[in-house]
Amino acid sequence: MKLILVLLAWLPLVAMARPDVDQKLGSTLADTGSVYYQFEHFELDSADGQRHYRVRLAVPTRAAPDEGYPVIYLLDGNAVLAALQEEWLAELDQRGPPLLVLIGPASDLRLDVDARVYDYTPSPHPGQPLLEDNERRRPAGGALAFLELIETRIKPQVEARRPVDRQRQTLWGHSYGGAFVLNTLFTRPQAFQRYVAASPSLWWKFGLLMQIEQTMPADVSARLLIMRGRDEARARTATTPPTEASRAMAATPDDAAQQMAVRLAQRPGLTVDYRELTGLGHGPMLAASILPALLMAAEPDP
């Protein structure tokens, strides 16, 4: 009986740790309005027509500076919009607010799991078919194509709508999105000047990102912020039988993100910051990492 009571007590926590793939977006600041930002959007499809995106622009009510707004591109745009708070926007308004570009699914879902698995994950052989793992078998490895979508179709539309400072562009992502951020830094570092990787999935394909890291050009000049929840360490649970993902997680050191930050900080052109947030696990890090990313995007160049 005691064991049953303990298990029942843990059920809500387990439920909170797992993303609700059917969770709807609900009412957001885009609906209720903001004193400091106005919202607009456009939609587009992936090159193969399989994924559909709604790109929301949160535009400061303050006039753009002469060089244009600093801009931050945020993945999982619907989830970001759901977490966005008016107090955050008020703080940005006092600092020289950036333009926010939220890239999410063209639906009322908070997350489109299938699309983000494909779009955010790198592949050891870009362009070749890849599966997330042997159990879920979702198509994966489309990070290169998604970056092309951002660079050649999303950025031009954003810049046609609002003046943007191309020397102050930030990219943020969480989990698989954090892996996308790092893969972009390693493979096309000139795409952005500031990168924020929250709880990046460094275990993906048994440490593929660590291999890609070694190919990064030597002359990269950028700022990088890596964040992780302190409760993510050893929060992984074994599965029976073990899955490909659980084996990859078990093979990745708990401090892999911190180790990566230390390595990257040794590169002359990179400014690297690593932060652990106390009391937070993997899921809550999505919302918790947004404000630090927004503040970083608003910072003037040194």
User: Smallest Cα–Cα separation from 74: which of 276, 296, 275, 273?
Assistant: 296
Question: How many C-beta atoms lie closer than 10 Å to residue 2's C-beta?
Answer: 6
**232 catalytic residue (yes or no):** yes
Q: What is the rounded CA–CA span in Å between residue 259 and residue 266?
A: 11
CA distance 211 to 155: 28
CB 104 within 8 A of CB 79: yes
Identify whether 132 is a catalytic site residue: no
Q: Which residue in the list 46, 246, 282, 289 is annotated as catalytic?
A: 282
Residues 158, 57 contacting (CB under 8 angstroms) = yes
Q: Which of the following is catalytic: 175, 199, 201, 289?
A: 175
Choose the catalytic residue: 46, 174, 213, 232: 232
If you write DSSP's letter for every residue of 206-274 in order, what string do you get? Answer: TTHHHHHHTTS-TT--EEEEEEEEGGGTT-----SSPPHHHHHHHHS-TTHHHHHHHHHHTSTTEEEEE
Known catalytic residue at 282: yes
Residue positions annotated with a catalytic role:
175, 232, 282
